[in-house]
Structure 1
Amino acid sequence: MQIALAPMEGLVDDILRDVLTRVGGIDWCVTEFIRINDRLLPPSSFLALAPELAHGSRTRAGVPMRVQLLGSDPQLLAENAVQACELGAPVIDLNFGCPAKTVNRSRGGAVLLKEPELMFSIIEAVRRAVPAHIPVTSKMRLGYDSPDGAIDCARALADAGSAHVVVHARTKADGYKPPAHWEWVAKVAEAVKVPVFANGEVWTLEDYHRCRSISGVADIMLGRGLVSRPDLARQIAAWRDGREVVPMPWSEVRVLLDDFWRQARRKLAPRYAPGRLKQWLGMLTRSYPEAVELFAQVRREHDCEVLDRMLQVEIEVAA
């Protein structure tokens, strides 16, 4: 049984990957997607979204990081996958699930679920191009408008060489609206001969138990649930290993939030750092009443130095 941190564009960047993986329970994580349009990207493009490549492709806690690519041209994706491997990527993941309209309009992400033959060609080309010891994996949704083609898409990925398939248990049209259709994960797992990970609507340990019962799969990829409850993977891992499950108190979450803010202040421009703080804090309000109170205090503030004082965090910003 493996527990993975999902790739989420504009949310789970290297800062949040660092903070969340230090909590424990996460076996591996994935970068935000690197978009492949019309050329071989320079190393700097990979390092911008995956700076862990320069540190053994692991987060500070030692959790392995995989590189995710998004695009529709099999040969271009293959060439860029080779580039990522040369930079140190231990696994190449392909995105067939992003529901964003801008991504889908450029023939990327979930829109490819309409073309299982192309999905097969992409995985096949990447699998053929990268070294044999480097796994190629994939993430998909149940379909674009309906889950009727989910089995065909999953088979295309598995037959082309995807080492495992992560299934976000909703269609593109569903977006992120509950419920997640875990029963379809069971159908996919029955249809393919590679491991299947369930993804979607797991916010608590109890949700994980229900997902496992309905989907029949133990492997899980956690997204918004883990961002909203930073110790969710640790809770699931404790249950898996037969250890006592002790939820993380707000006092410990607050330490993580302060560290996140320090890192955001060092890395991001002052105009962007406050938004990233509020983005994560807003998601924490789902699980922690204390986060609701803190979010109400900071939500209208945009000045980094004022936020430093409000959070009572000392910041050392390089000149």
Structure 2
Amino acid sequence: MPRLFLAPMEGLADYVLRDVLTGIGGFDAAVSEFVRVSGSVLPRRTYERICPEVLNGCQTPVGTPMAIQLLGSDPYWLGLNAEQASALSPHGIDLNFGCPAKTVNRHGGGAMLLGDPELLSRIVRSVRAAVPDPIPVTAKMRLGISDTSLAIDCAQALAEGGAASLVVHARTKDHGYRPPAHWEWIARIADAVNIPVIANGEVWTVDDWRRCRSVSACADVMIGRGAVADPFLALRIKGLMDEEPSPEDWRALLPRIAEYWEKVQRRVVPGHAPGRLKLLLSYFRRTWPQASELYAAVRTIRDPLAIPGVLDAAVIKYGSPAS
């Protein structure tokens, strides 16, 4: 059965949203937001803050296995921190070579490392040597920095360094998140390495998933923003729900929105919680027209105490899933 992975999404999919998305179902595994490594061994509390699932056997509340992602550029310090993280019994240590954020790239991390395949290999070797054999070391990369000239070299370096599998986001750093995703490049990379390759990028619908698998020749797919825009997407892909979103799905999602709101208030300071809800609703607008109305209602609210009333009103207007 083809596997579906929930992508790490810095600034979007923290453990609260992972809890909601994996609770809905359909994902075989998930990856944490990155833990930034630079010049020190991070304490256990850092991992507990970024990936609280480590307190639950490194799985989400419904049992979805979690890998911890590390980001950095120094093989020595990444190795030491991977050893520290492995003591928390993650289901994998993932290495970030794909983040396009300027705040990360200007320090030589994330996708900027794709200019130096030899360094990629040294990083993976260092981490693989530091992590117990039963814990897989994996990597996530883009197609390059500004072009694809080193894409094959980078993938081969990661495989030769000891990566057990490789997620390929089918865009360069400079592409950011602008469509299209160049899935054909994933197929070229998969042909060039002897480890499993997982396709990633621009999968928003079941049809996108089919085309991605066909073009990339990969069985397994990692989904990021598409799963945020449609939290039922993994279930649709696995044939457990209708492929096309419906008004009934929107009604079923409303209690999940309330669940997210309740949990996110415990995660962030009160003044930031409405912004997190607005961000989530902005993604839902891509899938359901009804989300635009709810987004507009929440957007004007300054007092977080008023938000439950707005969410209750939406349930009354659209009806509960059982109605």
Residue 224 of structure 1 corresponds to: 225
Q: What SS is found at the alignment partner of 1:66?
A: strand
Unaligned runs of 5+ in 2: 314-323
Q: CA deviation at 1:246?
A: 7.3
| 8 Å Cα contact 2:245-2:287 kept in structure 1 | no
Hey, what's the Cα distance between the residues in 1 that align with 2:306 and 2:83?
Answer: 45
Within a 5 Å distance, the mapping from 1:1-319 to structure 2 comes to: 1-238=2-239, 245=243, 247=245, 249-312=249-312
Q: CA deviation at 1:22?
A: 1.0
Q: Give the counterpart letter for 1:254 in structure 2.
A: L
Hey, what's the Cα distance between the residues in 2 that align with 1:279 and 1:268?
Answer: 14
Q: Give the counterpart letter for 2:285 in structure 1.
A: T
Q: 1:280 to 1:244 in 2, by over 3 A?
A: closer
Q: CA deviation at 1:302?
A: 2.6
Residue 317 of structure 1 corresponds to: none
Q: Give the counterpart letter for 1:217 in structure 2.
A: C
Q: 1:209 to 1:110 in 2, by over 3 A?
A: same
Q: CA deviation at 1:309?
A: 2.0
Q: Give the counterpart letter for 2:250 in structure 1.
A: W
Hey, what's the Cα distance between the residues in 1 that align with 2:309 and 2:244?
Answer: 31
Q: Deviations over 1:218-260 (max 9, x none)?
A: 1100000011000111111227xxx875756101111111100
Q: Which moved more, 1:135-144 or 1:230-239?
A: 230-239
Q: What SS is found at the alignment partner of 2:33?
A: coil
Q: Give the counterpart letter for 2:30 in structure 1.
A: C
Q: Give the counterpart letter for 1:257 in structure 2.
A: I
Q: Give the counterpart letter for 1:263 in structure 2.
A: K
Hey, what's the Cα distance between the residues in 1 that align with 2:57 and 2:227?
Answer: 24
Q: Deviations over 1:69-121 (max 9, x none)?
A: 00001010011111111122221000000000110011110000001110000
TM-score (norm 2): 0.93
Task: Among all aligned residue pairs of Structure 1 and Structure 2, give the percentage whose two residues are the same amino acid.
Answer: 51
RMSD of aligned Cα (Å): 1.3
Q: CA deviation at 1:266?
A: 2.4
Q: Deviations over 1:296-318 (max 9, x none)?
A: 111122311011222239xxxxx
Unaligned runs of 5+ in 1: 314-319
Hey, what's the Cα distance between the residues in 2 that align with 1:224 and 1:270?
Answer: 25
Q: Give the counterpart letter for 1:208 in structure 2.
A: W
Hey, what's the Cα distance between the residues in 2 that align with 1:285 and 1:14?
Answer: 22
TM-score (norm 1): 0.95
| 8 Å Cα contact 2:5-2:28 kept in structure 1 | yes
Hey, what's the Cα distance between the residues in 2 that align with 1:288 and 1:244?
Answer: 15
Point out 4+ residue stretches in structure 1 off by more than 6 angstroms.
Answer: none
